[in-house]
Amino acid sequence: MQILVVDDSALVRDMVTSIVVNAGYPQPLLAKDAREAKAHIKRSVVDLILMDIQLPGVDGLQLTRQIRRNLKDEQWIPIIFLTIKDDPDYLAAAIDAGGDDYLVKPVNPVVLLAKVHAMARISNMKAALDETNLQLNRLTQIDALTNVINRRGFDESLMHSWRLHRRNDQELCLLFLDIDDFKTYNDNYGHPQGDRCLRQVAELFKTCLRNESDLLARYGGEEFVIVLPNTTLRAAEKLAQSILLKLAQERIEHQHSHVAPYITASIGISTTRDGASTAQKLLSQADRSLYKAKSNGRNQICCFEDIEQLATDAEL
């Protein structure tokens, strides 16, 4: 569990750090004011905040209201206030601002750890409930034609994978796939046959997934996406190559294609290693890579890092 300690006293920050680290928790994030605290929350997954109420500038009560207002319900972070004021009205104000508990300084290490353990249990229970709800939502977010996740389900699943990527600091890859010349396929073979082709291609894509963590979704029309949590770029490239190979082996007839006499696909790949700061930017990078693969002649793979390298070489 990642803890954020917000206190303008270096002595208090060091004391709290010593207590939680000795209890087996990771090194906490440290902030001396609201600005540093918000920066940590923005770039890291925070599971618990231990916060002084009397902070310079924006105090702990104001900061808590801002956190509760800016974060969605599924990003709830428990907040325990640490303060020198042992006053019932102050306690009421702290809870009303959005705090979850209240401890008076100097903090008793045993009491602090008991509170932290309690919040950890609640946080773990919420995480398990969120995962269960995600699985239930997926059952209602299936594309009726291809029997894979639909666009809405993809959006939610990508955000879930993104949060896991940030929490665990593991590489996340995304494949954007487009069936080549599919409009021409529909124009010549008819839409009913086009629907059958989409179902066949979706089934082929599914056979290339490695485990239950990999997720295939229909993005729209003849476009598909594959989310690959905890996956290196090289592993993502290998999966993409297996897709192109299976399409070549399957040889789904497409005599009107400008690429080959069978169905082919273009694939763009992006990875969090390329500096995407949000899930949407990761998707945008995969989309740019797909466009490059199509402009290069289709039936091929393009990685975002290759686009970046070409741009760098051009500048040199």
- Residues 36-79 pLDDT 10s: 999 999 888 899 999 999 999 999 999 999 999 887 655 788 99
**Domain closes at, from 99, 128, 157:** 128
Does 197 have pLDDT greater than 90?
yes
Average pLDDT over residues 84-88: 86
Instruction: Identify whether residues 213 and 259 lie together within a single domain.
Output: yes
**Domain closes at, from 128, 156, 178:** 128
**Domain closes at, from 128, 158, 181:** 128
Q: CATH code at 309?
A: 3.30.70.270
Structurally, the chain folds into a number of domains equal to: 2
Instruction: Identify whether residues 149 and 121 lie together within a single domain.
Output: no
- The domain containing residue 285 runs over which residues? 142-315
Instruction: Identify whether residues 159 and 308 lie together within a single domain.
Output: yes
In a domain, 135, yes or no: no
Instruction: Identify whether residues 161 and 115 lie together within a single domain.
Output: no
In a domain, 224, yes or no: yes
Q: What is the pLDDT of residue 316?
A: 42
In a domain, 213, yes or no: yes
Q: Which residues are catalytic?
A: 222
Output the six-digit token pair for 5: 């300690």
pTM, full prediction: 0.62
Instruction: Identify whether residues 112 and 157 lie together within a single domain.
Output: no
Sheet holding 173-179, edge to edge: 215-220, 223-228, 173-179, 265-271, 301-303
20-29: list long-range contacts, CB under 8 Å, 24+ apart: 20/113, 20/116, 23/113, 23/116, 25/1, 25/116, 26/1, 26/2, 28/2, 28/3, 28/4, 29/2, 29/3, 29/4, 29/5
